[in-house]
A and B are shown apart, each in its own frame.
Chain A
Amino acid sequence: MKFLCVSCDEAMKLIEAKPPDRGSLTVVYRCPKCAHEFAMLTNPYETQIVGSLGVQVGPEGDGAAKCPFPGVMQEMGASLDGSSAASPWTPEATERLANIPEFARPMAKAGIEKFAKDRGLAQIDVEVLEQAKNFFGM
Protein backbone atom coordinates (compact mmCIF):
# COMPACT_ATOMS: atom_id res chain seq x y z
CA MET A 1 0.00 0.00 0.00
CA LYS A 2 1.32 3.43 -0.90
CA PHE A 3 -0.06 6.86 -0.11
CA LEU A 4 -0.03 9.91 -2.34
CA CYS A 5 -0.37 13.53 -1.34
CA VAL A 6 -2.89 14.56 -3.96
CA SER A 7 -2.16 18.28 -3.85
CA CYS A 8 1.62 17.79 -4.22
CA ASP A 9 1.42 14.58 -6.33
CA GLU A 10 4.14 13.28 -4.03
CA ALA A 11 4.49 9.88 -2.34
CA MET A 12 3.93 10.06 1.40
CA LYS A 13 6.66 8.70 3.68
CA LEU A 14 6.12 6.52 6.73
CA ILE A 15 7.12 8.49 9.81
CA GLU A 16 5.97 6.39 12.71
CA ALA A 17 4.14 3.14 13.43
CA LYS A 18 2.76 2.84 16.93
CA PRO A 19 2.32 -0.54 18.61
CA PRO A 20 -1.15 -2.06 18.25
CA ASP A 21 -3.85 -0.89 20.60
CA ARG A 22 -6.62 -3.49 20.86
CA GLY A 23 -5.61 -4.78 17.45
CA SER A 24 -5.41 -1.41 15.75
CA LEU A 25 -2.15 -0.06 14.36
CA THR A 26 -1.51 3.65 13.99
CA VAL A 27 0.82 4.45 11.11
CA VAL A 28 1.73 8.08 10.52
CA TYR A 29 2.71 9.32 7.05
CA ARG A 30 4.05 12.71 5.98
CA CYS A 31 4.30 14.39 2.63
CA PRO A 32 7.99 15.26 2.12
CA LYS A 33 7.01 18.33 0.09
CA CYS A 34 4.26 20.10 2.07
CA ALA A 35 4.81 18.25 5.41
CA HIS A 36 1.13 17.40 5.63
CA GLU A 37 0.66 14.43 7.97
CA PHE A 38 -2.07 11.87 8.30
CA ALA A 39 -2.47 8.64 10.26
CA MET A 40 -3.69 5.33 8.92
CA LEU A 41 -5.65 3.51 11.61
CA THR A 42 -6.11 -0.16 10.84
CA ASN A 43 -8.93 -2.32 12.09
CA PRO A 44 -7.98 -5.66 13.74
CA TYR A 45 -8.72 -7.60 10.52
CA GLU A 46 -6.30 -5.47 8.55
CA THR A 47 -3.67 -5.69 11.29
CA GLN A 48 -4.01 -9.45 11.43
CA ILE A 49 -3.86 -9.95 7.67
CA VAL A 50 -0.64 -7.94 7.35
CA GLY A 51 0.75 -9.64 10.47
CA SER A 52 -0.03 -13.03 8.92
CA LEU A 53 2.58 -12.29 6.25
CA GLY A 54 5.21 -12.58 8.97
CA VAL A 55 6.40 -9.04 8.40
CA GLN A 56 7.01 -6.24 10.82
CA VAL A 57 5.06 -3.02 10.50
CA GLY A 58 6.75 -0.34 12.50
CA PRO A 59 8.74 -0.91 15.64
CA GLU A 60 6.68 -3.60 17.32
CA GLY A 61 5.21 -5.70 14.50
CA ASP A 62 1.62 -6.82 14.80
CA GLY A 63 1.85 -7.53 18.50
CA ALA A 64 0.38 -11.01 18.09
CA ALA A 65 2.16 -13.88 19.83
CA LYS A 66 4.27 -15.95 17.44
CA CYS A 67 3.93 -19.27 19.18
CA PRO A 68 1.18 -21.40 17.64
CA PHE A 69 1.05 -23.79 20.53
CA PRO A 70 0.66 -21.73 23.70
CA GLY A 71 -1.16 -24.56 25.45
CA VAL A 72 1.80 -26.88 25.05
CA MET A 73 4.12 -24.16 26.23
CA GLN A 74 2.17 -23.64 29.41
CA GLU A 75 2.15 -27.38 30.09
CA MET A 76 5.92 -27.32 29.84
CA GLY A 77 6.03 -24.49 32.35
CA ALA A 78 7.57 -22.10 29.86
CA SER A 79 6.59 -18.50 29.45
CA LEU A 80 5.53 -17.31 26.01
CA ASP A 81 8.30 -14.71 25.87
CA GLY A 82 10.83 -17.45 26.57
CA SER A 83 12.08 -15.91 29.79
CA SER A 84 12.81 -18.20 32.69
CA ALA A 85 14.74 -18.33 35.91
CA ALA A 86 16.37 -21.66 35.04
CA SER A 87 20.00 -22.34 34.03
CA PRO A 88 21.69 -19.31 32.50
CA TRP A 89 22.54 -19.35 28.81
CA THR A 90 25.94 -18.29 27.53
CA PRO A 91 25.94 -15.55 24.88
CA GLU A 92 26.99 -18.13 22.23
CA ALA A 93 24.11 -20.45 23.08
CA THR A 94 21.66 -17.54 23.12
CA GLU A 95 22.94 -16.45 19.72
CA ARG A 96 22.41 -19.96 18.37
CA LEU A 97 18.81 -19.89 19.56
CA ALA A 98 18.16 -17.35 16.81
CA ASN A 99 18.81 -20.15 14.28
CA ILE A 100 15.35 -21.62 14.88
CA PRO A 101 12.05 -19.88 14.15
CA GLU A 102 10.70 -17.45 16.68
CA PHE A 103 7.63 -19.60 17.25
CA ALA A 104 9.77 -22.57 18.31
CA ARG A 105 12.20 -20.73 20.58
CA PRO A 106 10.24 -20.70 23.85
CA MET A 107 9.57 -24.43 23.56
CA ALA A 108 13.18 -25.20 22.64
CA LYS A 109 14.43 -23.02 25.48
CA ALA A 110 12.19 -24.75 28.01
CA GLY A 111 13.09 -28.21 26.70
CA ILE A 112 16.82 -27.57 26.70
CA GLU A 113 16.67 -26.11 30.19
CA LYS A 114 14.87 -29.24 31.37
CA PHE A 115 17.48 -31.37 29.59
CA ALA A 116 20.26 -29.44 31.40
CA LYS A 117 18.49 -29.55 34.77
CA ASP A 118 17.94 -33.32 34.55
CA ARG A 119 21.69 -33.72 34.09
CA GLY A 120 22.67 -31.27 36.80
CA LEU A 121 24.21 -28.83 34.32
CA ALA A 122 24.37 -25.33 35.77
CA GLN A 123 24.91 -23.47 32.52
CA ILE A 124 23.67 -23.88 28.96
CA ASP A 125 26.42 -23.46 26.44
CA VAL A 126 26.97 -24.67 22.89
CA GLU A 127 28.27 -27.98 24.24
CA VAL A 128 24.95 -28.61 26.03
CA LEU A 129 23.09 -27.81 22.81
CA GLU A 130 25.22 -30.38 21.00
CA GLN A 131 24.52 -32.94 23.73
CA ALA A 132 20.77 -32.28 23.43
CA LYS A 133 20.99 -32.62 19.66
CA ASN A 134 22.68 -36.00 19.94
CA PHE A 135 20.32 -37.11 22.70
CA PHE A 136 17.29 -36.35 20.54
CA GLY A 137 18.81 -38.15 17.55
CA MET A 138 19.44 -35.22 15.23
Chain B
Amino acid sequence: MRRLFWAAALAASVIAGPCLAQAKDDTLVVGAAVFTDSLSPAAGGYITLSLVYQTWEPLVARDADDKLVPALAERWETVSPTHWRFHLRRGVKWHDGTPFTAADVKFTIDYVTDPKTVYVRKGRIAGVVATEVVDENTVDIRTSSPAPLLLRGLADIAVEQKAVTERLGQKEAHRRPVGTGPWKYQEWVAGDRYDLVANPDYWGGAPAMKRLRIRTISEGATRVASLIAGETHIIEEVPVDLLPSVERRRNLKVDSIESSVSLVLTFDTRKPPFDDVRVRQAVDYAIDKKTLLQQMLGGYGSVLDGQLVTKATFGHNPKLQARPFDPAKAKALLAEAGHPRGFDTKITTLSGRYLSDVDIANAAAGMMTAAGVRATVNVVEGGVWSQLDRNKEQGPMYQIGWFSVGDADFNTVWYTEASKRNYWTNAEFDRLWQEGRSTLDEGKRLAAYHRMMEIMHEELPSIFLFGLPRISARAANVEGWQPSRDSLLRLHKVRVK
Protein backbone atom coordinates (compact mmCIF):
# COMPACT_ATOMS: atom_id res chain seq x y z
CA MET B 1 0.00 0.00 0.00
CA ARG B 2 2.69 2.39 1.07
CA ARG B 3 4.77 1.49 -1.95
CA LEU B 4 1.82 1.85 -4.24
CA PHE B 5 1.19 5.31 -2.94
CA TRP B 6 4.78 6.31 -3.46
CA ALA B 7 4.85 5.08 -6.97
CA ALA B 8 1.80 7.23 -7.67
CA ALA B 9 3.18 10.26 -5.88
CA LEU B 10 6.53 10.13 -7.64
CA ALA B 11 4.83 9.57 -10.96
CA ALA B 12 2.73 12.65 -10.38
CA SER B 13 5.67 14.98 -9.94
CA VAL B 14 6.99 15.05 -13.44
CA ILE B 15 9.74 17.57 -12.92
CA ALA B 16 12.19 17.22 -10.08
CA GLY B 17 11.88 20.14 -7.73
CA PRO B 18 14.71 22.57 -7.15
CA CYS B 19 17.50 21.05 -5.16
CA LEU B 20 17.95 22.42 -1.71
CA ALA B 21 20.52 20.50 0.24
CA GLN B 22 22.88 19.94 -2.69
CA ALA B 23 25.94 18.17 -1.40
CA LYS B 24 29.18 20.09 -1.41
CA ASP B 25 31.05 19.86 -4.70
CA ASP B 26 33.96 17.80 -3.47
CA THR B 27 31.87 15.35 -1.44
CA LEU B 28 30.41 12.10 -2.68
CA VAL B 29 27.22 11.20 -0.79
CA VAL B 30 25.90 7.64 -0.81
CA GLY B 31 22.51 6.57 0.53
CA ALA B 32 22.99 3.12 2.04
CA ALA B 33 20.11 0.73 2.59
CA VAL B 34 21.40 -1.14 5.57
CA PHE B 35 23.70 0.40 8.02
CA THR B 36 25.29 -1.07 11.02
CA ASP B 37 26.15 0.35 14.37
CA SER B 38 29.72 -0.67 14.15
CA LEU B 39 32.89 0.01 12.18
CA SER B 40 34.55 -3.02 13.65
CA PRO B 41 35.83 -5.83 11.43
CA ALA B 42 35.28 -8.16 14.39
CA ALA B 43 31.57 -7.49 14.83
CA GLY B 44 28.43 -6.97 12.88
CA GLY B 45 26.90 -8.82 9.97
CA TYR B 46 28.42 -9.16 6.55
CA ILE B 47 27.22 -5.70 5.57
CA THR B 48 29.58 -4.14 8.13
CA LEU B 49 32.38 -4.87 5.68
CA SER B 50 30.92 -2.18 3.44
CA LEU B 51 32.07 0.37 6.04
CA VAL B 52 35.17 -1.50 7.19
CA TYR B 53 36.69 -1.67 3.71
CA GLN B 54 36.51 2.07 3.15
CA THR B 55 39.45 2.43 5.55
CA TRP B 56 40.92 -1.04 5.87
CA GLU B 57 41.95 -3.68 3.35
CA PRO B 58 42.40 -7.43 3.21
CA LEU B 59 45.43 -9.27 1.84
CA VAL B 60 43.43 -10.51 -1.13
CA ALA B 61 40.26 -8.71 -2.16
CA ARG B 62 37.17 -9.45 -4.21
CA ASP B 63 36.35 -6.99 -6.94
CA ALA B 64 32.85 -5.83 -7.86
CA ASP B 65 32.55 -8.95 -10.00
CA ASP B 66 33.45 -11.35 -7.13
CA LYS B 67 36.81 -12.14 -8.75
CA LEU B 68 39.84 -12.30 -6.48
CA VAL B 69 42.32 -9.47 -6.95
CA PRO B 70 45.56 -8.52 -5.18
CA ALA B 71 45.17 -6.03 -2.35
CA LEU B 72 47.78 -5.79 0.39
CA ALA B 73 49.36 -8.93 -1.04
CA GLU B 74 50.69 -8.22 -4.52
CA ARG B 75 50.97 -11.89 -5.45
CA TRP B 76 51.00 -15.29 -3.79
CA GLU B 77 51.93 -18.90 -4.43
CA THR B 78 51.62 -22.28 -2.77
CA VAL B 79 54.89 -23.77 -1.56
CA SER B 80 53.07 -26.99 -0.72
CA PRO B 81 49.31 -27.72 -0.61
CA THR B 82 49.17 -26.57 3.01
CA HIS B 83 51.76 -23.81 2.80
CA TRP B 84 51.01 -20.47 1.16
CA ARG B 85 53.42 -17.62 0.56
CA PHE B 86 52.18 -14.04 0.21
CA HIS B 87 54.35 -11.27 -1.22
CA LEU B 88 53.20 -8.01 0.24
CA ARG B 89 52.78 -4.76 -1.64
CA ARG B 90 55.76 -2.50 -1.04
CA GLY B 91 55.65 1.12 0.01
CA VAL B 92 52.16 0.96 1.52
CA LYS B 93 51.65 3.32 4.46
CA TRP B 94 49.07 3.29 7.22
CA HIS B 95 46.96 6.43 7.57
CA ASP B 96 49.17 7.55 10.46
CA GLY B 97 52.27 7.41 8.24
CA THR B 98 53.90 4.24 9.56
CA PRO B 99 54.88 1.68 6.92
CA PHE B 100 52.82 -1.48 6.49
CA THR B 101 54.86 -4.65 7.11
CA ALA B 102 54.60 -8.40 7.40
CA ALA B 103 54.40 -8.05 11.18
CA ASP B 104 50.97 -6.40 10.82
CA VAL B 105 49.70 -9.33 8.77
CA LYS B 106 50.98 -11.90 11.22
CA PHE B 107 49.53 -9.95 14.13
CA THR B 108 46.08 -9.73 12.50
CA ILE B 109 45.82 -13.36 11.50
CA ASP B 110 47.17 -14.56 14.83
CA TYR B 111 44.65 -12.58 16.80
CA VAL B 112 41.72 -13.45 14.53
CA THR B 113 42.46 -17.17 14.74
CA ASP B 114 43.16 -17.08 18.48
CA PRO B 115 40.33 -19.12 20.04
CA LYS B 116 39.94 -16.48 22.75
CA THR B 117 39.27 -13.67 20.28
CA VAL B 118 35.69 -12.74 19.52
CA TYR B 119 35.71 -12.19 15.76
CA VAL B 120 32.56 -12.81 13.82
CA ARG B 121 34.10 -14.00 10.56
CA LYS B 122 36.93 -16.03 12.06
CA GLY B 123 35.35 -19.20 10.65
CA ARG B 124 36.33 -17.96 7.20
CA ILE B 125 39.99 -18.77 7.84
CA ALA B 126 39.35 -21.59 10.29
CA GLY B 127 41.93 -23.93 8.73
CA VAL B 128 44.90 -21.62 9.39
CA VAL B 129 47.33 -23.10 11.91
CA ALA B 130 50.35 -20.80 11.70
CA THR B 131 51.46 -17.49 10.23
CA GLU B 132 55.14 -16.76 9.83
CA VAL B 133 57.03 -13.62 8.91
CA VAL B 134 59.63 -14.56 6.30
CA ASP B 135 60.93 -11.04 5.83
CA GLU B 136 59.60 -7.47 5.90
CA ASN B 137 57.50 -8.09 2.77
CA THR B 138 56.73 -11.80 2.82
CA VAL B 139 54.34 -13.82 4.95
CA ASP B 140 53.76 -17.57 5.06
CA ILE B 141 50.45 -19.07 6.07
CA ARG B 142 50.09 -22.75 6.91
CA THR B 143 46.82 -24.61 6.95
CA SER B 144 45.92 -27.91 8.59
CA SER B 145 44.79 -29.41 5.27
CA PRO B 146 44.73 -28.15 1.67
CA ALA B 147 42.47 -25.08 1.80
CA PRO B 148 41.15 -24.00 -1.60
CA LEU B 149 38.92 -21.44 0.10
CA LEU B 150 41.71 -19.70 1.99
CA LEU B 151 41.97 -16.78 -0.45
CA ARG B 152 38.24 -16.15 -0.43
CA GLY B 153 38.29 -16.39 3.35
CA LEU B 154 41.13 -13.90 3.61
CA ALA B 155 39.09 -11.47 1.53
CA ASP B 156 36.81 -11.07 4.58
CA ILE B 157 39.61 -10.32 7.05
CA ALA B 158 40.77 -6.71 7.32
CA VAL B 159 44.46 -6.34 8.06
CA GLU B 160 44.98 -4.17 11.14
CA GLN B 161 48.02 -2.26 12.29
CA LYS B 162 49.86 -4.15 15.01
CA ALA B 163 51.05 -1.07 16.90
CA VAL B 164 47.65 0.64 16.98
CA THR B 165 45.52 -2.37 17.90
CA GLU B 166 48.02 -3.41 20.58
CA ARG B 167 48.24 0.07 22.05
CA LEU B 168 44.52 0.88 22.09
CA GLY B 169 43.04 -2.58 22.39
CA GLN B 170 40.67 -4.09 19.88
CA LYS B 171 37.63 -2.08 20.97
CA GLU B 172 39.21 1.36 20.79
CA ALA B 173 41.18 0.61 17.65
CA HIS B 174 37.96 -0.40 15.93
CA ARG B 175 36.19 2.81 16.88
CA ARG B 176 38.60 5.04 14.95
CA PRO B 177 40.10 2.97 12.16
CA VAL B 178 43.68 3.62 11.07
CA GLY B 179 43.89 1.60 7.88
CA THR B 180 45.67 1.49 4.54
CA GLY B 181 42.54 1.94 2.44
CA PRO B 182 41.44 4.68 0.02
CA TRP B 183 39.53 6.69 2.65
CA LYS B 184 40.51 7.99 6.07
CA TYR B 185 38.20 8.04 9.04
CA GLN B 186 36.80 11.43 9.90
CA GLU B 187 33.58 11.10 11.88
CA TRP B 188 30.98 8.47 12.48
CA VAL B 189 27.52 9.20 13.84
CA ALA B 190 25.83 5.97 14.85
CA GLY B 191 22.79 5.22 12.73
CA ASP B 192 23.10 8.42 10.72
CA ARG B 193 26.29 8.82 8.69
CA TYR B 194 29.92 7.95 8.21
CA ASP B 195 32.20 10.77 7.04
CA LEU B 196 35.56 10.07 5.45
CA VAL B 197 38.29 12.02 3.66
CA ALA B 198 40.38 10.87 0.72
CA ASN B 199 43.74 9.21 1.39
CA PRO B 200 45.97 11.04 -1.14
CA ASP B 201 48.74 8.46 -0.68
CA TYR B 202 46.58 5.42 -1.44
CA TRP B 203 48.61 2.81 -3.34
CA GLY B 204 45.77 2.38 -5.82
CA GLY B 205 45.71 6.10 -6.59
CA ALA B 206 44.01 8.88 -4.64
CA PRO B 207 40.20 8.72 -4.67
CA ALA B 208 38.50 10.84 -7.33
CA MET B 209 36.57 12.85 -4.73
CA LYS B 210 37.95 14.68 -1.69
CA ARG B 211 35.31 13.54 0.77
CA LEU B 212 32.89 10.69 1.20
CA ARG B 213 29.71 10.56 3.23
CA ILE B 214 27.77 7.31 3.62
CA ARG B 215 24.30 7.99 4.97
CA THR B 216 21.89 5.39 6.27
CA ILE B 217 18.40 5.67 4.83
CA SER B 218 16.67 2.41 5.54
CA GLU B 219 13.26 3.29 4.11
CA GLY B 220 13.41 2.64 0.35
CA ALA B 221 11.01 5.42 -0.62
CA THR B 222 12.96 8.00 1.38
CA ARG B 223 16.18 6.79 -0.22
CA VAL B 224 14.73 7.39 -3.67
CA ALA B 225 13.42 10.80 -2.57
CA SER B 226 16.89 11.78 -1.32
CA LEU B 227 18.37 10.95 -4.73
CA ILE B 228 15.69 12.90 -6.58
CA ALA B 229 16.20 15.85 -4.25
CA GLY B 230 19.94 15.77 -4.99
CA GLU B 231 20.92 15.06 -1.40
CA THR B 232 22.61 11.82 -2.40
CA HIS B 233 24.58 10.94 -5.55
CA ILE B 234 24.20 7.17 -5.36
CA ILE B 235 21.63 5.04 -3.58
CA GLU B 236 21.70 1.31 -2.92
CA GLU B 237 18.75 -1.04 -3.34
CA VAL B 238 16.06 0.74 -5.32
CA PRO B 239 12.70 -0.87 -4.45
CA VAL B 240 11.37 -2.62 -7.57
CA ASP B 241 8.03 -0.79 -7.54
CA LEU B 242 9.82 2.58 -7.51
CA LEU B 243 12.05 1.67 -10.46
CA PRO B 244 9.80 3.26 -13.12
CA SER B 245 9.81 6.60 -11.35
CA VAL B 246 13.62 6.55 -11.28
CA GLU B 247 14.04 5.24 -14.82
CA ARG B 248 11.78 7.95 -16.20
CA ARG B 249 13.97 10.79 -14.97
CA ARG B 250 16.65 11.81 -17.42
CA ASN B 251 19.00 13.07 -14.72
CA LEU B 252 19.03 9.69 -12.95
CA LYS B 253 20.46 6.34 -14.00
CA VAL B 254 19.77 2.82 -12.78
CA ASP B 255 22.65 0.32 -12.55
CA SER B 256 22.25 -3.32 -11.81
CA ILE B 257 24.38 -6.42 -11.35
CA GLU B 258 23.46 -9.96 -10.52
CA SER B 259 24.42 -10.81 -6.94
CA SER B 260 25.56 -14.24 -5.84
CA VAL B 261 22.32 -14.70 -3.88
CA SER B 262 20.30 -17.55 -5.35
CA LEU B 263 16.62 -17.42 -4.48
CA VAL B 264 15.15 -20.92 -4.23
CA LEU B 265 12.01 -22.74 -3.07
CA THR B 266 13.13 -25.68 -0.97
CA PHE B 267 11.00 -28.81 -0.50
CA ASP B 268 10.62 -30.94 2.58
CA THR B 269 11.61 -34.09 0.74
CA ARG B 270 11.20 -36.26 3.84
CA LYS B 271 7.41 -36.28 3.64
CA PRO B 272 4.76 -36.84 0.96
CA PRO B 273 3.90 -35.40 -1.45
CA PHE B 274 7.35 -33.86 -2.06
CA ASP B 275 9.27 -37.05 -1.33
CA ASP B 276 8.38 -37.96 -4.94
CA VAL B 277 10.75 -36.35 -7.43
CA ARG B 278 7.97 -36.27 -10.08
CA VAL B 279 5.93 -33.96 -7.88
CA ARG B 280 8.92 -31.67 -7.39
CA GLN B 281 9.52 -31.62 -11.15
CA ALA B 282 5.85 -30.85 -11.71
CA VAL B 283 6.21 -27.75 -9.53
CA ASP B 284 9.31 -26.77 -11.51
CA TYR B 285 7.36 -26.98 -14.79
CA ALA B 286 4.43 -25.10 -13.28
CA ILE B 287 6.34 -21.91 -12.43
CA ASP B 288 6.90 -19.44 -15.25
CA LYS B 289 10.17 -18.02 -14.01
CA LYS B 290 10.75 -15.62 -16.90
CA THR B 291 7.44 -13.89 -16.31
CA LEU B 292 8.10 -13.73 -12.58
CA LEU B 293 11.47 -12.10 -13.25
CA GLN B 294 9.87 -9.47 -15.48
CA GLN B 295 7.00 -8.73 -13.15
CA MET B 296 8.56 -8.99 -9.72
CA LEU B 297 12.18 -7.99 -10.30
CA GLY B 298 11.67 -5.49 -13.09
CA GLY B 299 13.61 -7.78 -15.45
CA TYR B 300 16.84 -7.34 -13.44
CA GLY B 301 18.85 -10.31 -12.22
CA SER B 302 18.39 -13.61 -14.03
CA VAL B 303 16.65 -16.97 -13.97
CA LEU B 304 19.00 -19.60 -12.52
CA ASP B 305 20.15 -22.22 -15.03
CA GLY B 306 18.39 -25.13 -13.35
CA GLN B 307 21.07 -25.16 -10.66
CA LEU B 308 21.86 -23.57 -7.35
CA VAL B 309 24.68 -21.22 -8.31
CA THR B 310 24.59 -18.12 -10.49
CA LYS B 311 26.50 -17.88 -13.77
CA ALA B 312 29.32 -15.86 -12.26
CA THR B 313 29.94 -18.29 -9.41
CA PHE B 314 32.83 -20.77 -9.50
CA GLY B 315 31.19 -24.17 -10.02
CA HIS B 316 28.42 -23.07 -12.44
CA ASN B 317 27.64 -25.90 -14.86
CA PRO B 318 27.17 -24.43 -18.35
CA LYS B 319 25.50 -27.62 -19.65
CA LEU B 320 22.41 -27.27 -17.47
CA GLN B 321 19.37 -25.19 -18.27
CA ALA B 322 16.23 -24.23 -16.38
CA ARG B 323 13.22 -26.44 -17.08
CA PRO B 324 10.80 -24.59 -19.36
CA PHE B 325 7.38 -23.39 -18.26
CA ASP B 326 5.04 -26.24 -19.26
CA PRO B 327 1.76 -26.47 -17.30
CA ALA B 328 0.55 -29.45 -19.35
CA LYS B 329 3.64 -31.44 -18.45
CA ALA B 330 3.25 -30.37 -14.80
CA LYS B 331 -0.29 -31.75 -14.75
CA ALA B 332 0.78 -34.97 -16.45
CA LEU B 333 3.58 -35.51 -13.91
CA LEU B 334 1.19 -34.88 -11.03
CA ALA B 335 -1.29 -37.41 -12.40
CA GLU B 336 1.52 -39.91 -12.88
CA ALA B 337 2.58 -39.44 -9.26
CA GLY B 338 -0.95 -40.18 -8.10
CA HIS B 339 -2.28 -36.63 -7.67
CA PRO B 340 -4.66 -36.24 -10.64
CA ARG B 341 -6.70 -33.73 -8.70
CA GLY B 342 -3.73 -31.94 -7.17
CA PHE B 343 -3.25 -31.20 -3.47
CA ASP B 344 -2.95 -28.33 -0.98
CA THR B 345 0.41 -27.06 0.22
CA LYS B 346 2.05 -23.93 1.55
CA ILE B 347 5.16 -21.83 1.01
CA THR B 348 6.85 -20.30 4.04
CA THR B 349 8.79 -17.08 3.49
CA LEU B 350 10.33 -14.13 5.27
CA SER B 351 9.21 -10.63 4.42
CA GLY B 352 11.71 -8.03 3.24
CA ARG B 353 14.78 -10.21 3.61
CA TYR B 354 15.26 -10.58 -0.13
CA LEU B 355 14.19 -8.32 -2.94
CA SER B 356 10.43 -8.74 -3.59
CA ASP B 357 10.41 -11.97 -1.55
CA VAL B 358 6.72 -12.03 -0.60
CA ASP B 359 5.60 -10.91 -4.05
CA ILE B 360 7.60 -13.67 -5.69
CA ALA B 361 6.23 -16.31 -3.30
CA ASN B 362 2.66 -15.15 -3.93
CA ALA B 363 3.02 -15.16 -7.70
CA ALA B 364 4.72 -18.57 -7.67
CA ALA B 365 1.91 -19.91 -5.48
CA GLY B 366 -0.60 -18.60 -8.01
CA MET B 367 1.16 -20.37 -10.87
CA MET B 368 1.38 -23.59 -8.88
CA THR B 369 -2.31 -23.40 -8.07
CA ALA B 370 -3.11 -23.05 -11.77
CA ALA B 371 -1.34 -26.37 -12.36
CA GLY B 372 -3.14 -28.10 -9.50
CA VAL B 373 -0.75 -27.65 -6.58
CA ARG B 374 -2.91 -25.32 -4.52
CA ALA B 375 -0.33 -23.29 -2.59
CA THR B 376 -0.84 -20.61 0.04
CA VAL B 377 1.88 -18.32 1.33
CA ASN B 378 2.80 -18.17 4.98
CA VAL B 379 4.86 -15.09 5.90
CA VAL B 380 6.78 -15.43 9.16
CA GLU B 381 8.86 -13.03 11.21
CA GLY B 382 12.66 -13.47 11.42
CA GLY B 383 12.80 -14.84 14.95
CA VAL B 384 10.11 -17.42 14.31
CA TRP B 385 11.84 -18.32 11.08
CA SER B 386 15.16 -19.07 12.75
CA GLN B 387 13.40 -21.41 15.15
CA LEU B 388 11.55 -23.25 12.40
CA ASP B 389 14.84 -23.43 10.53
CA ARG B 390 16.73 -24.93 13.44
CA ASN B 391 14.04 -27.54 14.06
CA LYS B 392 13.60 -28.26 10.34
CA GLU B 393 9.93 -27.36 10.53
CA GLN B 394 9.54 -24.83 7.75
CA GLY B 395 6.75 -26.83 6.20
CA PRO B 396 6.42 -28.49 2.79
CA MET B 397 8.07 -25.60 0.90
CA TYR B 398 10.03 -22.57 1.98
CA GLN B 399 11.68 -19.70 0.15
CA ILE B 400 15.26 -18.71 0.90
CA GLY B 401 18.25 -17.00 -0.72
CA TRP B 402 21.61 -18.72 -0.48
CA PHE B 403 24.70 -16.57 -0.77
CA SER B 404 27.83 -17.92 -2.50
CA VAL B 405 30.18 -14.90 -2.59
CA GLY B 406 31.61 -16.36 -5.77
CA ASP B 407 32.33 -19.98 -4.80
CA ALA B 408 29.90 -22.90 -4.90
CA ASP B 409 31.27 -24.29 -1.62
CA PHE B 410 29.53 -21.57 0.37
CA ASN B 411 26.00 -22.33 -0.70
CA THR B 412 26.11 -26.01 -1.54
CA VAL B 413 26.92 -26.65 2.13
CA TRP B 414 23.23 -26.09 2.94
CA TYR B 415 22.33 -29.27 1.07
CA THR B 416 24.83 -31.47 2.91
CA GLU B 417 24.57 -33.29 6.21
CA ALA B 418 27.26 -30.94 7.53
CA SER B 419 24.71 -28.11 7.59
CA LYS B 420 22.33 -29.98 9.90
CA ARG B 421 19.52 -28.06 8.17
CA ASN B 422 19.08 -30.13 5.04
CA TYR B 423 15.83 -31.95 4.28
CA TRP B 424 17.18 -33.66 1.20
CA THR B 425 20.28 -35.80 1.43
CA ASN B 426 22.51 -37.56 -1.06
CA ALA B 427 25.69 -39.44 -0.19
CA GLU B 428 27.43 -38.75 -3.50
CA PHE B 429 26.66 -35.05 -3.17
CA ASP B 430 28.15 -34.93 0.34
CA ARG B 431 31.26 -36.76 -0.79
CA LEU B 432 31.76 -34.39 -3.73
CA TRP B 433 31.33 -31.39 -1.44
CA GLN B 434 34.14 -32.67 0.82
CA GLU B 435 36.26 -33.32 -2.25
CA GLY B 436 35.69 -29.80 -3.55
CA ARG B 437 36.87 -28.17 -0.36
CA SER B 438 39.95 -30.30 0.21
CA THR B 439 41.97 -29.97 -2.98
CA LEU B 440 43.75 -27.05 -4.54
CA ASP B 441 43.29 -28.49 -8.03
CA GLU B 442 40.85 -26.09 -9.70
CA GLY B 443 39.98 -28.60 -12.41
CA LYS B 444 39.05 -31.25 -9.86
CA ARG B 445 37.04 -28.77 -7.83
CA LEU B 446 35.15 -27.59 -10.89
CA ALA B 447 34.38 -31.19 -11.91
CA ALA B 448 33.02 -31.91 -8.44
CA TYR B 449 30.74 -28.88 -8.48
CA HIS B 450 29.55 -29.60 -12.02
CA ARG B 451 28.49 -33.07 -10.96
CA MET B 452 26.82 -31.67 -7.80
CA MET B 453 24.80 -29.26 -9.92
CA GLU B 454 23.72 -32.16 -12.15
CA ILE B 455 22.56 -34.18 -9.16
CA MET B 456 20.56 -31.25 -7.86
CA HIS B 457 19.09 -30.56 -11.27
CA GLU B 458 17.76 -34.11 -11.49
CA GLU B 459 16.68 -34.55 -7.89
CA LEU B 460 15.40 -31.02 -7.34
CA PRO B 461 15.76 -30.53 -3.60
CA SER B 462 14.74 -26.95 -4.44
CA ILE B 463 13.19 -25.04 -7.29
CA PHE B 464 15.98 -22.77 -8.52
CA LEU B 465 14.39 -19.40 -9.16
CA PHE B 466 16.61 -16.35 -9.56
CA GLY B 467 20.02 -14.90 -9.14
CA LEU B 468 18.79 -11.78 -7.35
CA PRO B 469 19.89 -8.43 -8.74
CA ARG B 470 21.43 -5.55 -6.86
CA ILE B 471 19.78 -2.46 -8.23
CA SER B 472 21.30 0.90 -7.44
CA ALA B 473 20.58 4.34 -8.84
CA ARG B 474 22.74 7.42 -9.29
CA ALA B 475 22.66 10.95 -10.59
CA ALA B 476 23.57 10.99 -14.29
CA ASN B 477 26.69 13.07 -13.62
CA VAL B 478 28.21 10.35 -11.44
CA GLU B 479 30.99 8.42 -13.19
CA GLY B 480 32.92 5.29 -12.33
CA TRP B 481 30.23 3.70 -10.17
CA GLN B 482 29.30 0.06 -10.38
CA PRO B 483 27.20 -1.91 -7.92
CA SER B 484 29.02 -5.00 -6.60
CA ARG B 485 27.87 -8.59 -6.65
CA ASP B 486 28.79 -8.90 -2.99
CA SER B 487 26.96 -5.63 -2.08
CA LEU B 488 30.08 -3.90 -0.70
CA LEU B 489 30.53 -0.25 -1.68
CA ARG B 490 33.59 0.34 -3.86
CA LEU B 491 33.83 4.07 -4.20
CA HIS B 492 37.35 5.27 -4.67
CA LYS B 493 37.09 5.73 -8.43
CA VAL B 494 33.67 7.36 -8.36
CA ARG B 495 33.57 10.96 -9.55
CA VAL B 496 30.78 13.53 -9.57
CA LYS B 497 31.20 15.82 -12.56
A and B are interacting partners: no
Q: Mark B residues whose CB is within 8 Å of A.
A: none
Residues of A whose CB lies within 8 Å of any CB of B are none
